[in-house]
Structure 1
Amino acid sequence: MTTAPDPTLRPLAGVVPAVETLEGGGFRVHRPFPTGRLELLDPFLLLDEMGPTDYRPGEAVGAPDHPHRGFETVTYLLEGEFEHRDSHGGHGVIGPGGVQWMTAGAGVVHSEMPSERIRRHGGRVHGFQIWVNLPAADKMIPPRYQSLTAADLPTVEGDAWRLRLVAGELAGRRGPAATRTPVAVAHLVVEPGGVARLDVPADHNVGLYVFAGGATVPTGAGASTPVGTHELAVWHRAGGGVVVEGPPTADREVEALVLAGAPLGEPVARYGPFVMTTRQELIEAIDDFQAGRMGTIAPTGSA
């Protein structure tokens, strides 16, 4: 006997485990995509969980000067401090709960490093790096940098759950980050026994990356699917809400990153730090970087 799907629930497409790898200057990340299991979650191109890593004095590493073109990079920090510098004059240091949102657009060289305090004295670093694709028509727009503190991010409180919004609209609130592509990015916490329901437009892709604890996702007729730490739940594009439960017997709350967005449905051509729509555009990006047309980062302390 086949049970009819619950029309109030968005159908779950699957659960993808993250792979562990090294990035940047050699820091450890868990990456649910892109991997062999999942190439992208259109319009999201990449999701990396950085750490948590405890550094001793002089050990901390990040991502030294490197270029980007054709998309937006987002850093959301849970613990530690990160410093951003770029070739268009963007600069900022964020702490726990802070966000750096950079639109690479036509091209920028930037660095993202643990702060001088972390590098000198050590400390814990834990956060996320997200890449958001830009539509073909926006890939050559001027670069832009946004820096947000934890106090800038609104929080929605539910019954045994809470949601901190970085960008886009969820649970009736809107995050402060300005985006070129319609996306929502949020930090969800569900207590043991709590149930959070998020309504997302039916034509948007949705993913939930669990980074602490373990959640369950109801799939209808009393059935549910577990989503463990370092796993990404992905839903089909359809009507119905996304429901996340904190198991009543859990010994800690669930923490997860919610990603939702309108798919661009455009060709994706990738090569390292460049994401365009054709191979020829990638060649042009490489040429422009090598010729210095994306600029250089001014030395610290320069005017």
Structure 2
Amino acid sequence: MPAVTVEDLTVLPRLARPGLGDQPRPVWQVTNAPSGYEGEGFPVRRAFAGIDLSHLDPFIMMDQMGEVNYAPGEPKGTPWHPHRGFETVTYIIDGTFDHQDSHGGGGTITNGDTQWMTAGAGILHIEAPPEWLVQKGGLFHGIQLWVNLPRDAKLEAPRYQDLRSGTVALATTYDAGALVRVIAGSVDGHQGPGSTHTPMALVHATVEPGARLELPWEVEYNALGYVLNGSGTVGADDRPVRTGQATLFGPGDYLTYAADPVQDGRAVTLDVIIVGGRPIREPIAWAGPFVMNTKDEVLTAYEDYQRGRFGHIPV
């Protein structure tokens, strides 16, 4: 995984060890992510399927895109499609994605980059591999997280944050056994580059074989973890987890993952995505690409989309 690696973890700032009074977050639920296809046919795992929306709040869903090694001519993306009422966070671990939208925006994200798109009042966009990647083929792997917007921000003007891999905050555990990449929010004082409407944190952690990650976590946030790659255990009671499994944590001061000493198959390390935020606690009406507060607002979104109010596809 080329998404920001560090050869010598001992040079990084250390996360604080849990204190005497700190409580580990209990494991409330472990789920298996079902596989499917998105867009024009690229494989995804629905990371948080099976977890109640009330526990996901402020998040809506997350897809693991790939991991897939495309042959020449196979890479796929999405057709033009609309969004309103939430934010999409696209983090590319391996490979390259191009983006274009109905407001004239666009760009390329690649190994370790993140595109944070606030759809707000409405936008049309397309995500696809560049032509050279389609012709050549290659490895593709990433995630897309949907973050809800509070009622008073759902109709804001669309905007972007282009978060380059070099801006991600890096830290390690007290024994330098894990690399912690903070993409958004603050973790034990380490501030990621992403700016969020709702207070939250997004982390990609790589845990070395046999090592243990004890990650300080904001008490008022919920906490969810998802194994991208590898096998190990989660929680203070060392519950087994593996690739494609999500964990819902209960309240506490820190959360725990440990990597198996020997990894199976292609895995070299245990890689996990960890997200959490302050719940918005507002009604959710969700239909396809629109996440609003009421059914009437969703119907209005469909009408506005059909009437061309989200902008127009560039020629």
Match in the other structure for 2:189: 172
- Say whether the 8 Å CA contact 2:26–2:235 is kept in structure 1: no
Where do 1:49-128 residues align within 5 Å?
49-128=64-143
2:253 maps to which of 233, 240, 246: 240
Where do 1:208-247 residues align within 5 Å?
208-219=225-236, 223-236=237-250, 238-247=251-260
- Distance in 2 (CA, whole Å) between partners of 1:172 and 1:256 is 20
Shift of residue 210, structure 1, vs aligned partner:
0.4
> Is the deviation greater in 7-16 or in 94-103?
7-16
Q: Which secondary structure does the structure 1 equivalent of 2:134 belong to?
A: helix
- Say whether the 8 Å CA contact 2:31–2:50 is kept in structure 1: no
1:53-110 deviation digits (Å, cap 9, x = unpaired): 2222322111121000000001100111000111122111011111111000000001
- Say whether the 8 Å CA contact 2:100–2:125 is kept in structure 1: yes
Shift of residue 121, structure 1, vs aligned partner:
2.0
1:274 is the counterpart of 2:282: no
- Say whether the 8 Å CA contact 2:33–2:47 is kept in structure 1: yes
- Distance in 2 (CA, whole Å) between partners of 1:248 and 1:121 is 36
Q: Aligned AA for 1:298?
A: P
Q: Which secondary structure does the structure 2 equivalent of 1:59 belong to?
A: coil
Q: Aligned AA for 2:180?
A: L
- Cα RMSD, aligned residues only: 1.6
Shift of residue 260, structure 1, vs aligned partner:
1.0
- Equivalent pairs, count: 289
Shift of residue 42, structure 1, vs aligned partner:
0.9
- Distance in 2 (CA, whole Å) between partners of 1:167 and 1:240 is 19
- Distance in 1 (CA, whole Å) between partners of 2:269 and 2:289 is 35
Shift of residue 249, structure 1, vs aligned partner:
4.1
Q: What is the TM-score when the length of structure 1 is the normalising length?
A: 0.91
1:184 is the counterpart of 2:184: no
Match in the other structure for 1:45: 60
- Distance in 2 (CA, whole Å) between partners of 1:45 and 1:235 is 17
1:225-283 deviation digits (Å, cap 9, x = unpaired): 111110011111x2331111123344631101111111111111011100000000001
- Distance in 2 (CA, whole Å) between partners of 1:224 and 1:140 is 43
> Is the deviation greater in 54-63 or in 121-130?
54-63
- Distance in 2 (CA, whole Å) between partners of 1:140 and 1:88 is 15
1:297 is the counterpart of 2:297: no
Q: Which secondary structure does the structure 2 equivalent of 1:63 belong to?
A: coil
- Distance in 1 (CA, whole Å) between partners of 2:168 and 2:29 is 30
- Distance in 2 (CA, whole Å) between partners of 1:14 and 1:170 is 23
Structure 2 unaligned regions, length at least 5: 1-20
- Distance in 2 (CA, whole Å) between partners of 1:8 and 1:195 is 16
- Distance in 1 (CA, whole Å) between partners of 2:184 and 2:273 is 12
Shift of residue 171, structure 1, vs aligned partner:
3.4
Shift of residue 179, structure 1, vs aligned partner:
1.3
Match in the other structure for 2:16: none
Shift of residue 117, structure 1, vs aligned partner:
1.7
1:9-39 deviation digits (Å, cap 9, x = unpaired): 1121111110001111111101122x34544
Q: Which secondary structure does the structure 1 equivalent of 2:57 belong to?
A: coil
Q: Percent identity?
A: 42
- Distance in 2 (CA, whole Å) between partners of 1:156 and 1:211 is 19
Q: Aligned AA for 1:270?
A: W
1:193 maps to which of 201, 205, 210: 210
- Distance in 2 (CA, whole Å) between partners of 1:242 and 1:85 is 37
- Distance in 1 (CA, whole Å) between partners of 2:52 and 2:78 is 24
Q: What is the TM-score when the length of structure 2 is the normalising length?
A: 0.88
Structure 1 unaligned regions, length at least 5: 1-5
